[in-house]
Homo-oligomer: A and B are copies of this chain.
Amino acid sequence: MSEEAPNLLLSERIRIALADEITTGQLAPGSALDEQQIGDRFGASRTPVREAIRQLSAVGLVEMRPRRGAVVSGVSTQRIIDMFEMSAEIEAMCVRLATYRMNPVERSRLAQLHEDSEAMVAAGDIDAYDRMNWDFHQTIYEGTHNAFIAEQALALRDRMAAFRRTQLRGGGRPAKSRAEHGELLAAIMRGDGEEAARCMRSHMFHASLALERFTAGRS
């Protein structure tokens, strides 16, 4: 945290830092973002802070009410569900395209990731599994060979990171998640895109159940 990327624009650094704090939950939904205060925290004036907030609002991470400041987007339960559905559909779309388009190298990379994950599950290393999981999906995005789709899918996944964090903590979830990846991978290797898409929807659905439990006691 001492001296990171001094070549980046100040406003960019602030934007990234704030986005990070929001997606990791350090900044709870509904928190007000005081420009002056944030500026002080980063040793900057209000101007770059404002620019950062503007961008975050365009991405949907914060909400701006004219003359009343910005607050971290408090998404309703319904909206989270909606976002999750979209996420699942996008992932399904990606895997369908990727099934038809990945080259052998990409296929083997995916298989390798799946292979590696076995040890993580056995060791109960959730953080490592989480990272692998991220790479797994990322590889599928790139497998679509469509840069725009890959970007959008990644952006959506980023945006949902805030809600996804705790989802793997549920009992036995990593093992089940891995099993689902296995089925998915099999469908991909078979070249059955439609089936892969179905597997992915199911995978995302199961993943969302953990989330649902997490958000059960909210408005």
Interface residues of A (CB under 8 A from B): 8-9, 12, 47, 50-51, 54-55, 57-59, 66, 78-79, 82-83, 85-86, 89, 93, 97, 146-149, 152
Contact = CB atoms under 8 A, between A and B. Distances in A.
Given A85-B146, A85-B149, A89-B149, 7 more contacts: A12-B66, A47-B47, A54-B55, A79-B147, A82-B149, A86-B148, A86-B152
Q: Which 6 A-B pairs have the closest CB atoms?
A: A58-B58, A82-B148, A55-B58, A54-B54, A82-B146, A86-B149
Nearest to A97: B89
Nearest to A92: B93
Nearest to A7: B66
**Chain B CB within 10 A, most for which of A50, A59, A148:** A148
A89 B92 CA distance: 11
A79 B9 contact: no
How many chain copies? 2
28 contacts: A8-B66, A9-B66, A12-B66, A47-B47, A50-B51, A51-B51, A51-B54, A54-B54, A54-B55, A54-B58, A55-B55, A55-B57, A55-B58, A58-B58, A58-B59, A78-B147, A79-B147, A79-B148, A82-B146, A82-B147, A82-B148, A82-B149, A85-B149, A86-B146, A86-B148, A86-B149, A89-B97, A93-B93
Contacts of A86: 146, 148-149, 152
Contacts of A147: 78-79, 82
A57 B58 CA distance: 9
Nearest to A8: B66
Nearest to A152: B86
Contacts of A66: 8-9, 12
A8 B65 CA distance: 11
Nearest to A57: B55
A48 B59 CA distance: 19
Contacts of A89: 93, 97, 149
Nearest to A47: B47
Nearest to A67: B9
A8 B82 CA distance: 29
